[in-house]
Amino acid sequence: MSSTLLSRRDLRFLLHDWLDVTRLTERPRYAEHSRETFDAVLELAERVATEHFAPHNRAADLDEPTFDGRRVRMIPEVKAALDVFAETGLLASTLDESVGGMQLPHVVAAACFAWCQAANVATSAYPMLTLGNTNLLLAHGSPAQIDTWARPMIEGRFHGTMCLSEPHAGSSLADITTRAEPQADGTHRLYGTKMWISGGEHELGENIVHLVLARLPDGPPGVKGISLFIVPKVLLGPGGTPGDRNDVVLVGLNHKMGFRGTTNTLLGFGEGAYRPDGRAGAVGYLVGEPHQGLAQMFHMMNEARIGVGAAATALGYTGYLKSLEYARQRPQGRPLAAKDPATPQVPIVAHPDVKRMLLAQKSYVEGALALVLYCGRLLDEAKSAPEAADRARADLLLDVLTPIVKSWPAQWCLAANDLAIQVHGGAGYTRDHDVEQHWRDNRLNPIHEGTHGIQALDLLGRKVTMRDGAGLAALVDAIGVTVERAGKAGGECAEPAERLAASVRRLTDVTRRLWSAGDPQLALANATVYLEAAGHVVVAWMWLEQLLVVETAAAAPDAELYAGKRNAARWFFRHELPRTGPQFDLLASLDRTTLEMRDAWF
């Protein structure tokens, strides 16, 4: 039976027909793998997601974690699923064999994890955070820190978090006040409060490894004075045995609209509730050099941002498949040409407006999944391409795409969830169907790991302008290669290639226009409009790439899948890409409406 989590057919198309991931096995890093191992681990991920993550998705939403003042309690199925996930090796799938990993390509691992995100995004958040924490320590930690903290996370015994924000600071990390006081033994004692910490307290493993941003006494003001510390929930004794409870306490749980199975916490550091060595203060261990904390944390944050885009995509995708299944099974009404009320009703999938909603969903979720997997492929290129120039090019392009792969799926796969509810009609607005939960869960993704506004400032304020415009040039060049191939292919590819080329020219011209006035405040006033327009251009590129596969294949291995891809590409170029025209017009006008609006006028 077909799954309503993700589409095996689409994943096969994207990974093999389009991205040709088996070619990666020609490189030393992935030489032990083959198409057979890739397909086997994808099958394993689907089975784990279906049998261990999906069954408690609704239960974890209805019976969310609670805090009785001493312990966080949650349904036991969460821990059981995470234990299975770790035991299968999926948690360490991309890591080096030397630390216990599979050395699986990132693009294949992203497809595997998407199964779990579609099945249960809240439970999936725990391993996503733990893996990000692990990768940061592998990149910036000392050998001793890797052995002490990263290896137990790789094994699934410890879990990880990232502690950035504070109640008074929000996303403005320059204003954090958590302080770290150096100690004679080389450790530090931390004092402060951290807010919105996902996975900040639970009993899913032996320990929680918090990565905490804090200030040293000699740190300069602003983000340049931030350092990074490992602050475990439980301190370790000789040989890694559990020792004293560290002075980290749960102040309270945040009560969320969705994503309820993931604890979201307010944590207090150094309040004296626990007194390691008889003194208040949370014991922490400096990671790397002082005052480099934000740069180090971005290693985890950028990974998390791609993960957020993947989660948004997975939620949009499963909502689409469930609304498609409902539309095929729900009889209602008759075709307009059917005049006899005694004729049988037809499934609602036959009605044009339902087709419209399903097509829009398909174009969003399949376009977003292509973007997520393409970014995974770029990670593999940056890590394993034989030539240094190719590695640098992939790294630069991924840098530009990161705010888009985080934000575009978070906006438009949420829109797909909205349409999934609409396809269900009144039934979609009840808790009897999964689609309302998927919408609630997905509503977090435009917010966390940097809101749309923050990603927009990053894209327009830094990524497309960095190195004298090298970032934008890398994106334009990559799209240009696809446009050129599509132009040579002709036929069905010709018109969308011309439309995409025109959109890229507008993107380039508008970017130049925004910065030509020499006024950063004016240039960035409508950055979110720029992000949305640029995102649509990028996803149109993803659809042209898919259309090229369809139109140039010697024979369609899956005729219905290929026909569906062709029509979804038509939809995106005819219904979605034209949205960017008025947006580019607005940006080019250097509109000052938002800048001139005053508080009192609201």
User: Helix (H, G, I), strand (E, B), or coil: what is residue 182?
Assistant: strand
- CA 125, distance to chain mean position in Å, is 10
Residues 372 and 310: beta-carbon distance below 8 Å? yes
DSSP 541: H
Residue type, 439: W
Task: Tell me which residue has tokens 């409406």.
Answer: 593
* Strands, E assignment, 70-172: 72-73, 158-163
Inter-residue contact 377 to 585 (CB < 8 Å): no
Pairing mode of beta strands 226-232, 282-286: antiparallel
Residue whose tokens read 């057979």: 36
- Indicate which residues carry an active-site annotation: 449
Is residue 1 packed enough to be buried (19+ CB in 10 Å), middle (13-18) or exposed (0-12)?
exposed
Q: What is the maximum span of the chain, computed from C-alpha positions, in angstroms?
A: 89
Which residue type, as a one-letter code, is found at position 193? T
Report the alpha-carbon distance of residue 230 to residue 246 in Å, rounded. 12
**Quick one: which H or E segment has residue 283?**
strand 282-286
Sequence-ordered alpha helix ranges (H) in 120-257: 121-140, 143-145, 151-154
Query: With contact defined as beta carbons under 8 Å apart, do 475 and 402 qualify?
Result: no
Q: Which of 387, 378, 524 minimizes the C-alpha distance to 463? A: 524
Token output for 371: 């973007």
Contacts 24+ apart (CB under 8 A), 427-432: 427/326, 428/323
Phi/psi of residue 248, each to 5°? -125, 125
Between CA 319 and CA 338 the distance in angstroms is: 31
**Do β-strands 158-163 and 207-215 pair in parallel, antiparallel, or remain unpaired?**
parallel
Closest by CA to 436, choosing from 6, 61, 54, is: 61
Q: Looking at residue 53, what DSSP letter applies?
A: I
